[in-house]
């Protein structure tokens, strides 16, 4: 028979075990109920009706040595398969296709239900920046659209 010692350390171990048992349901609940910031207004670009949505309100992060911001683009009208390549960047102006093609960041990828993109960005997003979408269709036509950067994505001074 074990001897029970009601020490402070034993009580802390009991509470710590209870906390560890409560964490998995909490993480599961959060993963099943994600919260996203508001989507940008929808815009018609050529034959496409596109709604971009940032994944979070965090500032851009470094990915392979470049700053990026994650977005989901929903195509409400138009066939994604009509697009040869498409890129998203955040800045003062759209980056030229020749420059965008040199790397694999900023290119849209995914399914017809949603396109994910690590949008190329400056380290700090400023109010003067815009979200630029550049689409090249199979016929060679290049379409460009822009959205104002939402206030919640502008990097605050620190």
Rg (CA), the chain: 22
**Residue 33 located in a structural domain:** no
- What is d(CA 71, CA 106) in angstroms, rounded to the nearest whole number? 10
Structural domain count of the chain: 1
Mean pLDDT confidence for 32-47 = 92
Q: What is the CATH number of the domain that holds 95?
A: 2.60.40
State the pLDDT at residue 104: 85
In the predicted model, is pLDDT for residue 131 greater than 90? yes
Structural domain includes residue 12? no
- Phi then psi for 120, rounded to 5 degrees? -65, 140
With respect to residue 107, please indicate whether it lies within any of the assigned structural domains: yes
Q: Which residue has the higher pLDDT, 53 or 154?
A: 53
pLDDT digits 0-9 by tens, 114-123: 899 999 999 9
Mean of pLDDT over the chain: 91
The pLDDT score that the predictor gives to residue 157 is 65
Which 3 state secondary structure label does DSSP give 25? helix
Residue 50 contacts residue 42 (beta carbons within 8 Å): yes
* Residue 63 lies inside a defined structural domain of this protein: yes
Concatenated DSSP letters of 55-93? S-SSPPEEETTEEEEEEEEEEEES-GGGEEEEEEEEESS
- Is 80 a domain residue? yes
**Do the beta carbons of residue 59 and residue 90 sit within 8 Å?**
no
The answer as to whether 120 is a domain residue is: yes
> Of 91, 90, 84, which is closest to residue 143 (Cα–Cα)?
84
Range of the domain at 65: 43-153
pTM (predicted TM-score):
0.79
């Amino acid at each position: 028979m074990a001897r029970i010692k009601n020490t402070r350390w034993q009580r802390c171990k009991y509470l710590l075990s209870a906390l560890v048992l409560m964490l998995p349901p909490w993480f599961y609940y959060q993963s099943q109920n994600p919260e996203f910031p508001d989507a940008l207004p929808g815009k018609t670009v050529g034959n496409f009706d596109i709604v971009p949505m940032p994944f979070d309100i965090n500032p851009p992060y470094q990915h392979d040595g470049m700053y990026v911001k994650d977005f989901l683009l929903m195509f409400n009208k138009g066939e994604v398969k009509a697009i040869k390549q498409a890129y998203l960047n955040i800045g003062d102006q759209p980056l030229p296709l020749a420059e965008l093609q040199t790397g694999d960041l900023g290119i849209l990828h995914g399914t017809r239900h949603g396109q994910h993109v690590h949008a190329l960005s400056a380290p700090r997003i400023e109010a003067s920046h815009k979200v630029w979408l550049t689409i090249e269709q199979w016929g060679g036509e290049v379409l460009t659209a822009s959205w104002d950067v939402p206030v919640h994505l502008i990097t605050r001074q620190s």
